[in-house]
Structure 1
Amino acid sequence: MAVTFLVVPQWQGSVSARAMRLADGAEAIRGDLPTSSTVIVDVPVESGEALDSGILRFSSLLRVRERQLHALNHVPDWALTIGGDCGVSLSSIEHAVGRASDDLAVVWFDAHPDLNAAEDSPSGAFTGMVLRALCGEGALAPDAAHTLDPAKLVLAGIRDIDPGEERFIAEKRLTQIDSAALETPAALVEAVRATGAGSVYLHIDLDVLDPAVISGLANPLPFGLTLEQLTGAITALRAEFTLAGATIAGFSPVSPLDAEDDLPSILRVIGSLTR
């Protein structure tokens, strides 16, 4: 299958002091991608307004979503979305659900579940709400035909959960595979198999990795995955399920030199998705 690299240097979903560096991270990755198969989604310069949505910078996020969906509609096969903040997965997973319907599972590799609702979000940042939106809640939720069924969702490597997210996880009985259980990919593969899906979308926030692996993270958390564990899990999933799409998000290097140090690891993740 031919991959299209969809670069979305969105930073407005984050309220980190390093938010603008997410755009720099996307650009750094773009520099190592093949030009002929790379599409860049234009991101507004301005921060944007909440517009009574409960989501900071909502107006800019809405514009990026529209532009990204337009680009995805012209992708001939599947897209590897390069962010930017985790909000870039909204349109890409929404699009993949519409194409695959009930046959799609989503594996959310992330240190955070990103399942906050606007009313109980500690920050108002959409990057912490995107998965809740994909499950059908909030001002940026897709229509019913493009909403993700929580039964088709597997959380992988999560280790920092807010109270509202804990309640949602318990209410929906979401499947979680923690970092310790990812020493081998067997439990993860079995969890996706249990959804009954034949295809899978992989969202990868780079903070699922241990900070010893990659330094360009806005919110590094200890006890994450090794690079070998992440790439091994990707390889095992691709061996059993059709890859419907993927996201790599959360790269916010402090400087171009720091980006150069991290890029070999990121390119190994990209290679495991596209080889």
Structure 2
Amino acid sequence: MALTFVVVPQWQGSGSSRAMQLVDGAEAIRGDLPSTATRVVEVPLEAGDGEGSGIERWSSVRVVRERLTDQLARLDGPALTVGGDCGVEWAAVEHVAHRDIALVWFDAHPDLNSPAESTSGAFHGMVLRTLIERGLPADRVVLAGTRSFDDAESEYVATSGIRHVPVSDLTTPDALVAAVEATGAREVYVHVDLDVLDPEEITGLSHPEPFGLDGSTLATLIGALRDRWPLAGAGLMEFAPASPAAANDDLPVILRVIGALTAPRPAP
């Protein structure tokens, strides 16, 4: 079944000073996607209000969730959702969370804060915690390449049943495949925050963390997942280029990741 690209240039969930550049990043990626297979979700122009939630710009984040949920409901097959900030995944993962999925979270950060624990109030640092608290089983989540944890996030991982495969165990796909197999899932949703990559690989990152993956390794890992499990959906998030020229410099590695996510699955 054909995959649809859904571009969601949300910036309101980000706590970065480069948040508005996420709009430019989404548009840069959109320029290399097939127009006939691409949909765009309109994002509010206003920043939005916290509404007493403890989450910055909460009203706009909610509106985007509603619009993306509606767009995904109109599709017949899987979607590759292109952000924007990681908060976009709230709707994208929920769209398939009722299915027998493992959620593979390629991200330098676990995004497991709660509003009470977050120091920034930025929803992109809370989205995975939100998904779990709304019903996604924690033991179906595999953190991959995650290397920057707040203390509360470390405690949550230790007690929740979330699996974690660090960068040091990702030189081959074996440990990642074993972690996903241990969930018992029949499909995978693959989340990619581009900061899972090493900053030497890509400059357009809002929150770069050293000692990440290289692009070739990330593509190989995704390919190994695609060889083993059907893709329920995927998300590609957090591209914040400093300029159009910088975006062009980063796009080859991003397109390689997209290629790994969209390559035809081998016949059984």
CA RMSD of aligned residues (A): 0.7
Q: In structure 2, which of residues 178, 181, 187 is the aligned counterpart of residue 193 of structure 1?
A: 181
Query: 2:259 is aligned with what amino acid?
Result: G
Letter aligned with residue 132 of structure 1: R
Partner AA of 1:57 in structure 2: R
Deviations 1:20-65, CA, capped at 9 Å, x for gaps: 0001100000000011010000000000000011110000000000
Distance in 1 (CA, whole Å) between partners of 2:200 and 2:96 is: 32
Counterpart of 1:113, as a letter, is: P
Match of 1:24 in 2: 24
1:121 maps to 118
Indicate which of 223, 226, 240 corresponds to 2:211: 223
Secondary structure in structure 1 of the residue aligned to 2:195: helix
Q: 1:80 corresponds to which residue?
A: 80
CA contact (8 A) 1:117 1:164 kept: no
Q: Does 1:168 align with 2:172?
A: no
Shift of 1:120: 0.7
1:239 is aligned to 2:239 = no
Give 1:173 shift. Answer: 2.9
CA offsets 1:67-104 (integer angstroms, 9 cap, x no match):
00000001110000000000111101000113x1xx11
Q: Partner letter of residue 3 of structure 2?
A: V
TM superposition shift of 1:192: 0.2
The C-alpha deviation readout for 1:167-188, integer Å capped at 9, x for no partner, is 2111203210000100001100
- Partner Cα separation in structure 2 for residue 2 and residue 222 of structure 1: 36
Q: How does 1:97-116 map to 2 (within 5 A)?
A: 97-98=97-98, 100=99, 103-116=100-113
- Return structure 1 stretches of 4+ with deviation > 3 angstroms: none
CA deviations 1:137-177 (Å, max 9, x no partner) are xxxxx4xxxx2100100000011001111121112032100
Paired residue for 2:253? Answer: 265
2:266 is matched with which residue?
none
Describe how 1:43-82 pairs up with structure 2 within 5 A. 43-82=43-82
Partner of 1:7: 7
SS at match of 2:158: helix
Unaligned runs of 5+ in 1: 137-141
Equivalences, count:
263
Look up the equivalent residue of 2:142 and give its one-letter code.
V
For structure 2, the 5+ residue unaligned runs are 264-268
Match of 1:249 among 237, 248, 257: 237
Q: Provide the rounded CA distance (Å) in 2 between the counterparts of 1:222 and 1:199.
A: 31
Distance across 1 between alignment mates of 2:96 and 2:161:
23
TM-score (norm 2): 0.97
The structural deviation recorded for 1:19 is: 0.2
TM-fit CA distance, 1:260: 0.3
| Structure-to-structure mapping, 1:34-49, within 5 angstroms | 34-49=34-49
1: CA distance, partners of 2:262 / 2:159: 35
Q: Distance in 1 between matches of 2:109 and 2:245?
A: 27
SS at 1:75's partner residue? Answer: coil
Residues in 1 aligned to 2:113 and 2:127: alpha-carbon distance in whole angstroms: 8
Greater fraction helix: 1
- Identity %, equivalent residues: 55
